[in-house]
């Protein structure tokens, strides 16, 4: 699998609603970061479904390097 594009160098804070599904962009090409807009078409990437377990603020990864997909784990701090 090829590497995803780095879409940002900081997480995106999003107010999520309990029970709602969100589709995180895994390829880095979406213009609606951190969410999918279909830009992965014709690539090996697919969006990742995230279902909010409660209403709160979560931090979605935009660098696409996180080991805690789709949420930020601080990997953006290690980018060149």
How far is it, in rounded angstroms, from Cα 37 to Cα 28? 10
pLDDT the model gives residue 2: 67
What is the model's pLDDT at position 56? 98
Give the number of domains in the chain. 1
Q: What is the pLDDT, as a whole number, of residue 74?
A: 97
| pTM of the predicted model as reported, rounded to 2 decimal places | 0.93
Q: Are 31 and 17 in contact (CB under 8 A)?
A: no
pLDDT higher than threshold 70 for residue 16 = yes
**Domain of residue 79, residue span:** 1-80
Q: Are 47 and 75 in contact (CB under 8 A)?
A: no
What confidence tens digit (pLDDT) does each residue in 28-80 have? 999 999 999 999 999 999 999 999 999 999 999 999 999 999 999 999 999 98
Structure token pair of residue 29:
């090409």
The DSSP 8-state label assigned to residue 77 in this structure reads: G
What pLDDT shows up at residue 1?
A: 57
């Amino acid at each position: 699998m090829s590497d995803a594009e780095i879409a940002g160098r900081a997480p995106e804070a999003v107010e999520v609603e309990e029970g709602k599904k969100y589709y995180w962009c895994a390829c880095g090409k979406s213009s609606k970061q951190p969410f999918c807009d279909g830009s992965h078409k014709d690539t090996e990437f697919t969006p990742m479904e995230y279902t909010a377990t409660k209403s709160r603020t979560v931090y979605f990864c935009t660098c696409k390097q996180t080991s805690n997909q789709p949420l930020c784990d601080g990997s953006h701090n290690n980018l060149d």
